[in-house]
Amino acid sequence: MYTTAGFFLKRLASSYQSLSIRHIGRHLLPYLGSAFILWLLLRPFGLHAIWELLRQVNGYWLSAGFGWYLLTNVCRAYRFSTLLPLRGAVNPLGLVPDMVILSFLNNVLPARTGELFFPIWLRRRHQTPIGQSLAVLFITRLFDFLAVASLFLIFTFLVHDRLTIVAQQAILATAAILLPALGLLAILPWLGQRGLLLFDWLLVKMGLAGYPFSQRLRQLEEQVVMAVVQAHQGRAYFKTFLWSLLAWLCTFAWFTCFLQALALPTPYTFVVVGATFAVLANAIPFITVGGFGAHDAGWAFGFSLLGMAWETAVITGFAVNVLTIIVSIISSGGVLLADYLRKIGQ
């Protein structure tokens, strides 16, 4: 009897230990993924070259980049307010702290999971339904792609004489993807309603329709579909696209300032074309943290298409990413401190 009990206790301990290892492994995987990609990229150069670049940062250009970063979040706040009707009289500028927090969450959480935690922040601050926030986030990400792709096509035309054959193929691929993205945006309400019907059918088929968690999921999906239908207006979409264009023009401006701060002046047109690949790579929910690895690889690829040496492209991509995260941490720290002081005041 004791032998049997001991056997089961050992099996239980072994199972718990294996579960703990898997749990820890899942959390470490994004960090290991980032470290591995960075090791591949930086192995030929070492960290010394990056340190030499960062320790000579020009404070004036760094401050200018910080200003463009804040202006980017102002544009994002106005865009968000176009699609998300908030309760009460909330000025769009009141959403700027929320946009700063969204950027911070995506910079510190792996695989851009900040997108999933951000609706919880909005619900706490503005009592916004989580499903509504998720829907607006998805729509804005579609507009981000449309804006970045449009700017890429415009600015590649301005520097077409400096592009390699690979870059010209990338232009054709970007133009080809734009049409499906526009089509997806046009049929979003229809897709949402069909998805709701499919979800109901699956719940009945699997015998889960009566469970509380199924009803909560159904309610969340209803909120998402309702928000998509409400936002599906020509005027709202047009304003959202304009704010997206302005936000990305400001983003590329802060990249340009950071390159100036690193004593690597680069024309704005080149920054838009080269950094587009970093933006697109960073948008993929890849298993990395802070975009390290994905952003750097995309940046190096994009700028190498413009004739920049691979070593310089890799080092500058990493350095710009570091400066962006530092600015994001400082901004979000100010937001969280202000939120804490507001609570104390209440």
- Residue 289 CB-density burial (10 A; 0-12 exposed, 13-18 middle, 19+ buried): buried
pLDDT over threshold 60, residue 232: yes
CA distance 342 to 233: 36
Q: Say if 32 falls within a structural domain.
A: no
Count of structural domains within the chain = 1
Closest CA to 312 of 44, 37, 12, 95: 44
Q: Cα dist. 31→19, 118, 155 in Å?
A: 19, 21, 34
pTM: 0.78
| Confidence at residue 288, expressed as pLDDT on a 0 to 100 scale | 56
In a domain, 251, yes or no: yes
pLDDT exceeds 60 at position 18: no
The DSSP result for 145-166, as a single string, is HHHHHHHHHHHHHHTGGG--HH
Locate 127 and state its tokens.
């009592």
Q: Is residue 265 part of a domain?
A: yes
Q: Does any domain span residue 118? A: yes
Q: What are the tokens at 268?
A: 């704005």
Q: Is residue 232 part of a domain?
A: yes
Residue-number span of the structural domain to which 85 is assigned:
68-341
Q: What is the pLDDT of residue 72?
A: 95
In a domain, 49, yes or no: no
Q: Which of 329, 324, 332, 331 has the alpha carbon at shortest distance from 62? A: 324
Q: Tell me the mean pLDDT in the region 137-159.
A: 86
- Mean pLDDT (whole number) for 6-10: 43
Q: Is residue 2 in some structural domain?
A: no
pLDDT of residue 6: 47
Helices within 43-158 (DSSP H only): 47-54, 59-83, 96-108, 114-126, 130-158
pLDDT at residue 336 tops 80: yes
User: Residue 341 has what pLDDT?
Assistant: 78
% of the chain at pLDDT higher than 90: 14
Would you say residue 228 lies in a domain?
A: yes
What are the tens digits of pLDDT across the range 293-304? 677 778 888 888
